[in-house]
Amino acid sequence: MVNRVLIIGSLILAALIPLAVIALRRNEHSPTPRFHIMLGMDKMAYRKPQRPSKFFADGRAMRPHIAGTLARQDFIYNNEAQMRLTPNNWKLDHVVLNTRHKYERVLLGQVLGGGQGRFITHIPIPVTKALVHRGQQQFDIFCMPCHGANGRGNGLVNQWVHKLRQAGSPDAGTWVRPTDLTSPAVTFLPDGGIYSIIVNGVAGMPAYKDQIAVVDRWAIVAYVRALGLSGKAVSAARLPVKVRASLAAGKKH
């Protein structure tokens, strides 16, 4: 009788082992690939973006840009249709880059000619409330890490590197504190100049032309202008006529 209890008991215990292993497996992170019960058509021969391929010598399925050539979308990049295809279905109305002049102003932020470019002084696309909001959103993605949410140059990355430097870590490298975007160094720049810095970078700041779409660059310029004005008294003469009128009527803004 005792024997039988022992046998059944150990059988039950043995039966619990696989369950325990599964429970453990469910709660740990494993560097081994997932276990495929049936591979089926999970892996097919066709190529997906950013995957390896044995077909090409460099092992890439995606082909890099060949020097001296243009990708197909480069031909249409500058027309209105493509400008509309900016992130989030953002629509940019009334901007048709059908002349060389408009093209230079919107894409380069400059007026070329005479062998020397001049930065344009005003944002070449309609500045609306929506554009400034878009600018804030894009600023918070691409600029805020270093320049900070208020643009004063003390973003979290700057604070992090500051801590590293205080701890004597070599990881602090050659970092310099980012420019205060509300300082005269920026507020006195023409709009095209700020745009150009976003496109080409300056000093320690890298170029962002590959990461930020054209419209979004101008949206950021608009937002940087707003930051430059924030926290500062603005002469009533610079306000739009409508706003001045409603202020005079005693309405709050």
C-alpha torsion 55→60→65→68, nearest 10:
-40
Burial of 67-103, coded b for 16+ CB within 10 Å and e otherwise, reads eeeeeeeeeebbeeebbeebeeebebeebebeeeeee
State which of residues 112, 119, 142, 239 lies at the interface with another protein (CB under 8 A): 142
State which of residues 55, 64, 116, 253 lies at the interface with another protein (CB under 8 A): 64
Angle at 51 between CA 47 and CA 53, to 5 degrees: 65
Give the binding range for another protein (CB under 8 A) out of 91-99, 111-119, 206-214, 235-243. Answer: 206-214
Give the binding range for another protein (CB under 8 A) out of 73-81, 99-107, 140-148, 236-244. Answer: 140-148
Q: Collapse the DSSP code of 9 into the 3-class scheme (helix H, G, I; strand E, B; otherwise coil) and give the result.
A: helix
Question: Is 46 or 188 the residue whose CB approaches another protein more closely?
Answer: 46
Give the binding range for another protein (CB under 8 A) out of 43-51, 180-188, 220-228, 236-244. Answer: 43-51
Measured between alpha carbons, how far is 24 from 198 in angstroms, rounded to an integer? 50
* H or E element in which residue 118 lies: strand 118-119
Q: Is 22 in the site for another protein (CB under 8 A)?
A: yes
Q: Is 160 in the site for another protein (CB under 8 A)?
A: yes
Q: Is 18 in the site for another protein (CB under 8 A)?
A: yes
């279905």: which residue's tokens? 89
Q: Is 88 in the site for another protein (CB under 8 A)?
A: yes
State which of residues 4, 43, 54, 63 lies at the interface with another protein (CB under 8 A): 43
Q: Is 8 in the site for another protein (CB under 8 A)?
A: no
C-alpha torsion 230→233→236→240, nearest 10:
0
Q: Is 49 in the site for another protein (CB under 8 A)?
A: yes
Closest by Cα among 186, 182, 194 to 231: 182
Residues that bind another protein (CB under 8 A): 15, 18-19, 22, 25-35, 37, 40-44, 46, 48-52, 58-60, 64, 85-89, 137, 140-142, 144-145, 156-157, 160-161, 164, 170-175, 204, 206, 210-211
